[in-house]
Structure 1
Amino acid sequence: MLPYSEQQLINANVNPATGLATDYPNLFNEAVMLFEMGLDMPDMAEELTDWRPHGYIEHFERSGFEQKDVVVAAYLYAPHEIREAFDASVARALSVFDSSINILLSTHMMDAAARADLETRLVEMKALVIEMDSHIHGRVESDLQSEVDALF
Protein backbone atom coordinates (compact mmCIF):
# COMPACT_ATOMS: atom_id res chain seq x y z
CA MET A 1 0.00 0.00 0.00
CA LEU A 2 1.23 3.46 -0.90
CA PRO A 3 2.48 5.33 2.19
CA TYR A 4 1.01 8.66 1.03
CA SER A 5 -2.53 10.01 1.15
CA GLU A 6 -4.48 11.10 -1.91
CA GLN A 7 -4.02 14.71 -0.85
CA GLN A 8 -0.25 14.25 -0.58
CA LEU A 9 -0.24 12.82 -4.09
CA ILE A 10 -2.27 15.73 -5.42
CA ASN A 11 0.05 18.19 -3.68
CA ALA A 12 2.99 16.50 -5.45
CA ASN A 13 1.20 16.81 -8.82
CA VAL A 14 0.60 13.07 -8.97
CA ASN A 15 -2.62 11.73 -10.43
CA PRO A 16 -3.91 9.46 -7.63
CA ALA A 17 -5.61 7.16 -10.15
CA THR A 18 -2.50 6.48 -12.22
CA GLY A 19 0.32 7.19 -9.77
CA LEU A 20 2.09 9.33 -12.37
CA ALA A 21 3.25 12.93 -11.99
CA THR A 22 2.10 15.65 -14.34
CA ASP A 23 5.51 17.39 -14.22
CA TYR A 24 7.43 14.76 -16.20
CA PRO A 25 6.32 15.84 -19.71
CA ASN A 26 7.78 19.29 -19.00
CA LEU A 27 11.19 17.75 -19.74
CA PHE A 28 9.98 16.99 -23.25
CA ASN A 29 7.98 20.20 -23.70
CA GLU A 30 11.19 22.16 -23.20
CA ALA A 31 12.89 20.14 -25.94
CA VAL A 32 9.92 20.59 -28.29
CA MET A 33 10.04 24.36 -27.82
CA LEU A 34 13.79 24.50 -28.49
CA PHE A 35 13.43 22.13 -31.45
CA GLU A 36 10.75 24.36 -33.02
CA MET A 37 12.91 27.42 -32.54
CA GLY A 38 15.93 25.57 -33.92
CA LEU A 39 14.10 24.86 -37.16
CA ASP A 40 13.83 28.58 -37.85
CA MET A 41 16.89 29.84 -36.00
CA PRO A 42 19.69 27.27 -36.26
CA ASP A 43 21.75 28.99 -33.55
CA MET A 44 18.88 28.27 -31.11
CA ALA A 45 19.25 24.56 -31.88
CA GLU A 46 22.54 24.68 -30.01
CA GLU A 47 20.52 25.15 -26.81
CA LEU A 48 19.49 21.51 -27.25
CA THR A 49 23.05 20.33 -26.66
CA ASP A 50 22.36 20.82 -22.94
CA TRP A 51 19.09 18.84 -23.03
CA ARG A 52 19.44 15.34 -21.66
CA PRO A 53 16.88 12.58 -21.91
CA HIS A 54 16.10 11.18 -18.48
CA GLY A 55 13.80 8.37 -17.54
CA TYR A 56 10.98 9.09 -15.13
CA ILE A 57 12.68 8.20 -11.85
CA GLU A 58 16.04 9.66 -12.91
CA HIS A 59 14.32 12.91 -13.89
CA PHE A 60 12.82 13.36 -10.45
CA GLU A 61 15.87 12.15 -8.56
CA ARG A 62 18.01 14.74 -10.41
CA SER A 63 15.47 17.52 -9.94
CA GLY A 64 15.18 19.93 -7.07
CA PHE A 65 11.53 18.95 -6.74
CA GLU A 66 10.79 18.91 -3.01
CA GLN A 67 8.29 16.07 -3.16
CA LYS A 68 10.26 13.75 -5.40
CA ASP A 69 10.03 10.96 -2.80
CA VAL A 70 6.24 11.06 -3.11
CA VAL A 71 6.46 11.07 -6.91
CA VAL A 72 8.89 8.13 -7.07
CA ALA A 73 6.94 6.08 -4.52
CA ALA A 74 3.67 6.71 -6.37
CA TYR A 75 5.28 5.58 -9.62
CA LEU A 76 6.59 2.39 -8.01
CA TYR A 77 3.12 1.65 -6.61
CA ALA A 78 1.29 2.56 -9.84
CA PRO A 79 -0.89 -0.17 -11.31
CA HIS A 80 1.31 -2.48 -13.38
CA GLU A 81 -0.61 -2.09 -16.65
CA ILE A 82 -0.61 1.73 -16.38
CA ARG A 83 3.08 1.90 -15.58
CA GLU A 84 3.98 -0.60 -18.29
CA ALA A 85 2.12 1.37 -20.98
CA PHE A 86 3.58 4.64 -19.70
CA ASP A 87 7.12 3.22 -19.63
CA ALA A 88 6.76 2.02 -23.23
CA SER A 89 5.63 5.50 -24.25
CA VAL A 90 8.55 7.09 -22.38
CA ALA A 91 11.04 4.70 -24.01
CA ARG A 92 9.74 5.65 -27.47
CA ALA A 93 9.87 9.35 -26.60
CA LEU A 94 13.42 9.15 -25.22
CA SER A 95 14.59 7.42 -28.39
CA VAL A 96 12.77 9.71 -30.82
CA PHE A 97 13.77 12.88 -29.00
CA ASP A 98 17.41 11.86 -28.73
CA SER A 99 17.73 10.89 -32.40
CA SER A 100 15.71 13.88 -33.63
CA ILE A 101 17.81 16.34 -31.65
CA ASN A 102 21.02 14.77 -32.93
CA ILE A 103 19.75 15.03 -36.50
CA LEU A 104 18.68 18.65 -36.00
CA LEU A 105 22.08 19.56 -34.61
CA SER A 106 23.87 18.00 -37.60
CA THR A 107 21.55 19.15 -40.40
CA HIS A 108 21.99 22.03 -42.77
CA MET A 109 18.62 23.81 -42.73
CA MET A 110 18.84 24.85 -46.37
CA ASP A 111 18.32 21.20 -47.36
CA ALA A 112 14.56 21.01 -48.06
CA ALA A 113 14.34 17.23 -47.65
CA ALA A 114 16.18 17.34 -44.33
CA ARG A 115 13.96 20.15 -43.10
CA ALA A 116 10.82 18.21 -44.10
CA ASP A 117 12.12 15.19 -42.18
CA LEU A 118 12.74 17.36 -39.11
CA GLU A 119 9.25 18.85 -39.32
CA THR A 120 7.80 15.32 -39.46
CA ARG A 121 9.92 14.40 -36.44
CA LEU A 122 8.60 17.46 -34.59
CA VAL A 123 5.01 16.30 -35.15
CA GLU A 124 5.98 12.86 -33.83
CA MET A 125 7.67 14.41 -30.80
CA LYS A 126 4.53 16.41 -29.98
CA ALA A 127 2.38 13.31 -30.39
CA LEU A 128 4.61 11.40 -27.97
CA VAL A 129 4.25 14.14 -25.35
CA ILE A 130 0.47 13.91 -25.74
CA GLU A 131 0.69 10.14 -25.43
CA MET A 132 2.70 10.35 -22.19
CA ASP A 133 0.28 12.95 -20.85
CA SER A 134 -2.66 10.69 -21.67
CA HIS A 135 -1.16 7.90 -19.57
CA ILE A 136 -0.55 10.30 -16.69
CA HIS A 137 -4.15 11.51 -16.78
CA GLY A 138 -5.66 8.08 -17.46
CA ARG A 139 -7.31 9.10 -20.72
CA VAL A 140 -8.76 6.45 -23.00
CA GLU A 141 -7.23 5.66 -26.40
CA SER A 142 -9.99 7.38 -28.39
CA ASP A 143 -9.28 10.65 -26.55
CA LEU A 144 -5.59 10.24 -27.32
CA GLN A 145 -6.26 9.70 -31.02
CA SER A 146 -8.37 12.87 -31.15
CA GLU A 147 -5.52 14.88 -29.64
CA VAL A 148 -2.97 13.43 -32.05
CA ASP A 149 -5.29 14.06 -35.01
CA ALA A 150 -5.57 17.71 -33.95
CA LEU A 151 -1.83 18.11 -34.58
CA PHE A 152 -2.32 17.59 -38.32
Structure 2
Amino acid sequence: MVDEADFTAWQKKVEGTNISSTTLLATDYLNHFNEIVMLLEMVPDMPDMIEDCKEWAPKSYQDHFRDSAFSDRELAIEAYEHVPVRFRQPFEETINHLNTIVGHAVTQLEMIIADGNEELLRETAHAITVSLQKFMDVASGIIHGSAKTMSQEEIDAALAL
Protein backbone atom coordinates (compact mmCIF):
# COMPACT_ATOMS: atom_id res chain seq x y z
CA MET A 1 0.00 0.00 0.00
CA VAL A 2 1.37 3.38 -1.05
CA ASP A 3 0.98 6.20 1.44
CA GLU A 4 0.20 9.73 0.28
CA ALA A 5 3.51 11.25 1.44
CA ASP A 6 5.42 8.62 -0.52
CA PHE A 7 3.21 9.17 -3.57
CA THR A 8 3.69 12.95 -3.38
CA ALA A 9 7.46 12.50 -3.20
CA TRP A 10 7.39 10.27 -6.27
CA GLN A 11 5.18 12.72 -8.15
CA LYS A 12 7.96 15.29 -7.69
CA LYS A 13 10.62 12.78 -8.81
CA VAL A 14 8.89 12.14 -12.15
CA GLU A 15 8.13 15.79 -12.98
CA GLY A 16 9.57 16.78 -16.34
CA THR A 17 9.80 13.17 -17.58
CA ASN A 18 7.57 11.08 -19.84
CA ILE A 19 6.12 9.46 -16.72
CA SER A 20 2.77 10.83 -15.59
CA SER A 21 3.10 12.78 -12.36
CA THR A 22 -0.61 12.09 -11.82
CA THR A 23 -0.24 8.29 -11.72
CA LEU A 24 3.50 7.48 -11.94
CA LEU A 25 2.77 5.43 -15.09
CA ALA A 26 4.22 5.91 -18.59
CA THR A 27 2.41 5.49 -21.91
CA ASP A 28 5.57 4.01 -23.42
CA TYR A 29 4.42 0.66 -22.01
CA LEU A 30 1.58 0.65 -24.54
CA ASN A 31 4.15 0.36 -27.34
CA HIS A 32 4.34 -3.31 -26.41
CA PHE A 33 0.68 -3.64 -27.45
CA ASN A 34 0.99 -1.33 -30.45
CA GLU A 35 3.48 -3.86 -31.81
CA ILE A 36 1.03 -6.77 -31.73
CA VAL A 37 -1.82 -4.63 -33.08
CA MET A 38 0.31 -3.74 -36.11
CA LEU A 39 1.20 -7.39 -36.65
CA LEU A 40 -2.42 -8.51 -36.36
CA GLU A 41 -3.50 -5.83 -38.84
CA MET A 42 -1.09 -7.33 -41.41
CA VAL A 43 -2.33 -10.90 -41.05
CA PRO A 44 -5.25 -10.65 -43.54
CA ASP A 45 -2.88 -9.49 -46.30
CA MET A 46 0.07 -11.62 -45.20
CA PRO A 47 -1.22 -14.71 -43.35
CA ASP A 48 2.34 -15.87 -42.66
CA MET A 49 2.62 -12.92 -40.24
CA ILE A 50 0.71 -15.10 -37.79
CA GLU A 51 4.10 -16.65 -36.99
CA ASP A 52 5.37 -13.25 -35.81
CA CYS A 53 2.17 -12.85 -33.80
CA LYS A 54 2.81 -16.20 -32.13
CA GLU A 55 6.25 -14.97 -31.02
CA TRP A 56 4.75 -11.95 -29.23
CA ALA A 57 4.40 -12.60 -25.51
CA PRO A 58 2.90 -10.68 -22.60
CA LYS A 59 5.45 -8.57 -20.81
CA SER A 60 5.06 -6.97 -17.43
CA TYR A 61 5.28 -3.21 -17.11
CA GLN A 62 8.65 -3.38 -15.41
CA ASP A 63 10.05 -5.99 -17.83
CA HIS A 64 9.02 -3.79 -20.75
CA PHE A 65 11.09 -0.96 -19.37
CA ARG A 66 14.02 -3.23 -18.48
CA ASP A 67 14.16 -4.20 -22.16
CA SER A 68 13.49 -0.73 -23.60
CA ALA A 69 15.57 2.25 -24.65
CA PHE A 70 13.15 4.57 -22.82
CA SER A 71 15.22 7.45 -21.45
CA ASP A 72 13.67 7.25 -17.97
CA ARG A 73 13.42 3.46 -17.85
CA GLU A 74 15.04 3.03 -14.42
CA LEU A 75 12.78 5.70 -12.96
CA ALA A 76 9.71 4.07 -14.58
CA ILE A 77 10.64 0.68 -13.12
CA GLU A 78 11.15 2.07 -9.64
CA ALA A 79 8.12 4.39 -9.74
CA TYR A 80 5.81 1.46 -10.55
CA GLU A 81 6.18 0.20 -6.99
CA HIS A 82 4.73 3.52 -5.81
CA VAL A 83 1.68 3.70 -8.09
CA PRO A 84 -1.43 4.03 -5.89
CA VAL A 85 -3.82 1.09 -5.96
CA ARG A 86 -6.56 3.35 -7.37
CA PHE A 87 -4.53 3.48 -10.60
CA ARG A 88 -2.54 0.27 -10.41
CA GLN A 89 -5.45 -2.13 -9.96
CA PRO A 90 -7.54 -0.96 -12.95
CA PHE A 91 -4.35 -0.63 -15.01
CA GLU A 92 -3.27 -4.21 -14.29
CA GLU A 93 -6.79 -5.52 -14.93
CA THR A 94 -6.87 -3.74 -18.28
CA ILE A 95 -3.45 -5.15 -19.21
CA ASN A 96 -4.65 -8.64 -18.27
CA HIS A 97 -7.61 -8.20 -20.62
CA LEU A 98 -5.27 -7.10 -23.42
CA ASN A 99 -3.06 -10.16 -22.89
CA THR A 100 -6.11 -12.45 -22.87
CA ILE A 101 -7.44 -11.00 -26.12
CA VAL A 102 -4.08 -11.39 -27.85
CA GLY A 103 -3.78 -15.01 -26.70
CA HIS A 104 -7.23 -15.91 -28.00
CA ALA A 105 -6.74 -13.85 -31.16
CA VAL A 106 -3.66 -15.68 -32.33
CA THR A 107 -5.31 -19.07 -31.85
CA GLN A 108 -8.51 -17.92 -33.55
CA LEU A 109 -6.73 -16.35 -36.52
CA GLU A 110 -4.52 -19.39 -36.95
CA MET A 111 -7.63 -21.61 -37.24
CA ILE A 112 -9.23 -19.25 -39.77
CA ILE A 113 -6.03 -19.19 -41.84
CA ALA A 114 -6.02 -23.01 -41.84
CA ASP A 115 -9.63 -22.97 -43.11
CA GLY A 116 -8.70 -20.53 -45.88
CA ASN A 117 -11.63 -18.15 -45.31
CA GLU A 118 -10.08 -14.82 -46.33
CA GLU A 119 -13.19 -12.74 -45.65
CA LEU A 120 -13.63 -14.16 -42.16
CA LEU A 121 -9.91 -13.63 -41.54
CA ARG A 122 -10.20 -9.95 -42.50
CA GLU A 123 -13.35 -9.40 -40.40
CA THR A 124 -11.96 -11.21 -37.37
CA ALA A 125 -8.58 -9.47 -37.49
CA HIS A 126 -10.36 -6.12 -37.71
CA ALA A 127 -12.68 -6.92 -34.78
CA ILE A 128 -9.70 -8.05 -32.69
CA THR A 129 -7.66 -4.93 -33.36
CA VAL A 130 -10.65 -2.69 -32.62
CA SER A 131 -11.14 -4.52 -29.32
CA LEU A 132 -7.46 -4.23 -28.44
CA GLN A 133 -7.52 -0.52 -29.26
CA LYS A 134 -10.48 0.01 -26.90
CA PHE A 135 -8.56 -1.56 -24.03
CA MET A 136 -5.41 0.39 -24.96
CA ASP A 137 -7.47 3.59 -24.86
CA VAL A 138 -8.67 2.66 -21.38
CA ALA A 139 -5.10 1.88 -20.29
CA SER A 140 -3.93 5.21 -21.69
CA GLY A 141 -6.70 6.99 -19.81
CA ILE A 142 -5.66 5.30 -16.58
CA ILE A 143 -2.03 6.26 -17.20
CA HIS A 144 -3.15 9.87 -17.51
CA GLY A 145 -5.27 9.72 -14.36
CA SER A 146 -8.74 8.89 -15.66
CA ALA A 147 -10.95 6.83 -13.42
CA LYS A 148 -13.02 5.71 -16.43
CA THR A 149 -12.80 2.04 -17.15
CA MET A 150 -14.98 -0.27 -19.18
CA SER A 151 -18.23 -1.68 -17.86
CA GLN A 152 -18.36 -5.42 -17.29
CA GLU A 153 -20.70 -5.66 -20.29
CA GLU A 154 -18.13 -3.87 -22.50
CA ILE A 155 -15.36 -6.10 -21.20
CA ASP A 156 -17.38 -9.26 -21.80
CA ALA A 157 -18.23 -8.17 -25.35
CA ALA A 158 -14.61 -7.39 -26.13
CA LEU A 159 -13.38 -10.70 -24.71
CA ALA A 160 -16.04 -12.71 -26.57
CA LEU A 161 -14.33 -12.38 -29.95
Into which bin does the TM-score normalised by the smaller protein fall?
Answer: 0.7 to 0.9
Q: How many residue pairs end up in the alignment?
A: 144
The one-letter code sitting in structure 2 at the alignment partner of 1:32 is V
Question: How far has the Cα of 1:129 moved from its partner?
Answer: 1.0
Determine the C-alpha separation between the residues in 2 that align with 1:128 and 1:55.
16
Change (3 A) 1:119 1:31: same
Question: How far has the Cα of 1:9 moved from its partner?
Answer: 4.6
CA-based RMSD: 2.7
Q: 1:87 aligns with which of 92, 112, 116?
A: 92
Question: How far has the Cα of 1:135 moved from its partner?
Answer: 0.7
Report matched runs for 1:31-50 at 5 Å: 31-50=36-55
Corresponding residue of 2:124: 117
Change (3 A) 1:99 1:116: same
Determine the C-alpha separation between the residues in 1 that align with 2:15 and 2:92.
20
2:20–2:144: 8 Å Cα contact kept in structure 1? Answer: yes
Determine the C-alpha separation between the residues in 2 that align with 1:73 and 1:6.
14
TM normalised by structure 1 equals: 0.78
Corresponding residue of 2:59: 54
Determine the C-alpha separation between the residues in 2 that align with 1:63 and 1:80.
25
Structure 1 range deviating more: 128-137 or 114-123: 114-123
2:41–2:125: 8 Å Cα contact kept in structure 1? Answer: no
Q: 2:76 aligns with which of 71, 74, 99?
A: 71
Determine the C-alpha separation between the residues in 1 that align with 2:132 and 2:85.
25
Corresponding residue of 2:3: none
Change (3 A) 1:106 1:97: same
Structure 2 residues not aligned, in runs of 5+: 1-5, 155-161
Corresponding residue of 1:6: 12
Corresponding residue of 1:104: 109
Question: How far has the Cα of 1:111 moved from its partner?
Answer: 5.5
Q: Is residue 129 of structure 1 aligned with residue 136 of structure 2? A: yes
Determine the C-alpha separation between the residues in 1 that align with 2:121 and 2:89.
34
Question: How far has the Cα of 1:52 moved from its partner?
Answer: 1.7
Determine the C-alpha separation between the residues in 2 that align with 1:51 and 1:9.
32
Corresponding residue of 2:158: none
TM normalised by structure 2 equals: 0.74
